[in-house]
Amino acid sequence: MPYTTRLLQDEKDRAEFNAFVCAHPKGHALQLWEWGEIKSRTGWRPWRLMLTRGGETAAAATVLERRLPLVGSPIFYCPRGPVADPADEPLLRATLAAVRELARERGAILLKIDPDIPAGDADFTRFLRASGFRALDRGKNFEGVQPRFVFRLDIRPPEEELLAAMRQKTRYNIRLAMKKGVTVSRGSREELPDFYAVLRETTERDNFLVRDFSYFADLYDTLVPAGYGELFLARYAGRIVAGTFAFRAGAKAWYIYGASAGVYRDVMPNYLIQWEMIRWARGLGCTLYDFRGVSGDLTETNPLYGLYRFKKGWGGEMTEFVGEWDLVYRPVLYRLWRLAEGVYSGGLKKLLAARS
């Protein structure tokens, strides 16, 4: 039985689309309808595709389109997608064919994907190569659009077992924060500027860039009321000393943004806020908590080693994904784009990444 492709453009399709993304084992927050809305306000155009067979939805994809000013043609990006069974090659071929048809209509140069598939899935990797995808080596740190290496924690066990599986120092710091009187609460919309102030302090201290406040206001307004995001704030001595923003889709939750003040770090608010985020995710029925990116370079001299050590302490599993892959539709323009990529806005990462 052949697959039928639907291009969803009506608001009434939102619930059906999100329900499939949330229920699918490979569903991701960056494939939600709402993520396309957020990106549409930063220069992207979202397209939502669904494939059905026999009246049942089999695959879905949020494809983001952005026209490049120097080249004059768009690129396609399907963040952490498409949402489909990676072992079902006929379904994957049908999904790629649907995206290719849309790319032909739009004149797209390429389709970029960075799917939520472990690097050890040799069959999926062979399928990508056989389908014409090109693997991009983005290094082992954070050179890619999305992190290639992440820490994930199975949060199905009871809290006591989760605590017991942590490194002793992590468990100690959680309890220290509690003993010192650190409190964690859900942040309201009115408190978002307070979170942003701590985030700005963090970026200035650690020397990295952050988007304007309006972007975080959009994240909150779009995701939190819909149940796909949450803001957390940690307080000590009457002030906000740490804040985080989490995404959630179905049975998965992701730690996306984190901020910490330069003072009172000795009371370990970053540990308690993570623990409360895990408890929040468990309360919603989530089974997986994703701490997001770490470096794949585990040498202790790597400046990112401390981040690895912090996330490893929670007892999760380090996962390497298959990475970024490009499917080229227009080879000449693609070669021009690769030549200009390092110059244009500092590269693709600034255009595409969830945390940019």
Give the pLDDT of residue 350: 52
Give the pLDDT of residue 352: 52
Give the pLDDT of residue 142: 75
Give the pLDDT of residue 348: 52
Domain at 4-146+321-352, CATH class: alpha beta
Please report, for the chain, the start and end positions of each structural domain, with discontinuous segments joined by +.
4-146+321-352, 149-319
Query: 149-319 in CATH: which number?
Result: 3.40.630.30
Q: Are domains 4-146+321-352 and 149-319 of this chain identical in fold?
A: yes
* Averaged pLDDT in 10-residue chunks for the chain of 356 residues: 92 97 98 98 97 96 92 94 98 98 98 96 98 89 86 98 98 98 98 97 86 97 98 97 98 97 96 98 98 87 88 96 97 88 53 48
3-state secondary structure the chain: CCCEEEEECCHHHHHHHHHHHHHCCCCCHHHCHHHHHHHHCCCCEEEEEEEEECCEEEEEEEEEEEECCCCCCEEEEECCCCECCCCCHHHHHHHHHHHHHHHHHHCCCEEEECCCCECCCHHHHHHHHHCCEEEECCCCCCCCCCCCEEEEEECCCCHHHHHHHCCHHHHHHHHHHHHHCCEEEECCHHHHHHHHHHHHHHHHHHCCCCCCHHHHHHHHHHHCCCCCEEEEEEEECCEEEEEEEEEEECCEEEEEEEEECCCCHHHCHHHHHHHHHHHHHHHCCCCEEEEEECCCCCCCCCCCHHHHHHHHCCCCEEEEECCEEEEECCHHHHHHHHHHCCCHHHCHHHHHCCCC
